[in-house]
Amino acid sequence: MHAVEKMLARAAGVDSVTPGEILNCSVDFIELNDLYLQVVRSFYEMGGTKVWDPTKISFVFDHYSPAPTIRTAQIHKEMRDFAREQGLTHHFDINAGVCHQVMPEAGLIRPGMILVATDSHTTTHGAFGAFGTGIGATDAATVLISGELWFRVPEVIKIEITGKPRTGVYAKDVILHIIGKLKADAAVYQAVEFCGEYVEGLGVSERMAVCNMAVEMGAKTAWMKPNRAVLDYVEERFGTDYILDETDPGYTYAGEHFFDVSSLEPQLACPHSVDNVFPFSEVSPVKVDQAFIGSCTGGRLEDLEAAAQVVKGRKIAPATRMVVIPASMEVYKKAMEKGYVQTLIEAGATFNAPGCGPCLGTHAGILARGEVCVSSTNRNFPGRMGSPEAEIYLGSPALVAASALEGSLADPGKYLDTPQGASV
Partner 1 sequence: MKTGYTGKAHLFGKNIDTDQIYPGQYLELVEPDEIARHCLEGADPSFASKLQPGDIVVAGTNFGCGSSREHAAIALKHAGVAAVVAESFARIFYRNAINLALPLLVCKGISSRVESGDTLKIDLEQGTVTNSRTGKVLEGEKLSSYAMNILDKGGIKAIFLDKTRGKTR
Q: Which is nearer to partner 1, 135 or 329 (CB)?
A: 135
CA-to-CA separations, 188 to 207, 273, 277, in angstroms, rounded = 21, 16, 19
Residue 356 labeled ligand binder: yes
- Enumerate residues 6+ apart whose C-beta is below 8 A from 236: none
- Considering only CA atoms, which of 160, 153, 128, 298 is closest in space to residue 224? 128
Q: Which is nearer to partner 1, 264 or 325 (CB)?
A: 325
Q: Which is nearer to partner 1, 65 or 408 (CB)?
A: 65
Q: What is the end-to-end Cα distance of the chain in Å, rounded? A: 46
Task: Give the DSSP letter of residue 180.
Answer: H
Write down the number of H helices and E strands in the chain. 16, 18
**Least Cβ distance, residue 58 to partner 1 (angstroms):** 16
Distance between CA atoms of 147 and 136, rounded to whole angstroms? 15
Q: Which is nearer to partner 1, 67 or 416 (CB)?
A: 67
**Least Cβ distance, residue 152 to partner 1 (angstroms):** 8
Distance between CA atoms of 316 and 298, rounded to whole angstroms? 19
- Enumerate residues 6+ apart whose C-beta is below 8 A from 212: 100, 121, 123, 124, 296, 297, 378
- Report H helices in 19-135: 37-45, 70-86, 99-105
Coil, strand or helix: which one is 37?
helix
Distance between CA atoms of 342 and 220, rounded to whole angstroms? 39
**Least Cβ distance, residue 408 to partner 1 (angstroms):** 26
The two beta strands, 277-279 and 267-269, are antiparallel
Distance between CA atoms of 401 and 407, rounded to whole angstroms? 10
**Least Cβ distance, residue 49 to partner 1 (angstroms):** 8
Q: Which is nearer to partner 1, 42 or 267 (CB)?
A: 42
**Least Cβ distance, residue 382 to partner 1 (angstroms):** 6
Q: Which is nearer to partner 1, 204 or 390 (CB)?
A: 390
- Considering only CA atoms, which of 187, 258, 255 is closest in space to residue 216? 187
**Least Cβ distance, residue 231 to partner 1 (angstroms):** 29
**Least Cβ distance, residue 330 to partner 1 (angstroms):** 25
**Least Cβ distance, residue 245 to partner 1 (angstroms):** 22
- Report H helices in 34-151: 37-45, 70-86, 99-105, 137-146
Coil, strand or helix: which one is 304?
helix
Beta partners for residue 255, in sequence order = 157
Nearest-10 crossing angle of helices 301-311, 340-347: 50
Q: Which is nearer to partner 1, 229 or 254 (CB)?
A: 254
Q: Which is nearer to partner 1, 69 or 263 (CB)?
A: 69
Residue 25 labeled ligand binder: no
Q: Which is nearer to partner 1, 343 or 362 (CB)?
A: 362
- Interface positions with partner 1 (CB under 8 A): 22, 35, 37-38, 41-42, 45-48, 63-64, 69, 71-72, 75, 118-120, 134-139, 141-142, 145, 150, 184-185, 188-189, 218, 220, 273, 360-362, 379, 381-384, 386, 388
Residue 99 labeled ligand binder: no
**Least Cβ distance, residue 238 to partner 1 (angstroms):** 25
- In the annotated binding site, the residues are 296, 356, 359
- In the annotated binding site for [4Fe-4S] cluster, the residues are 296, 356, 359
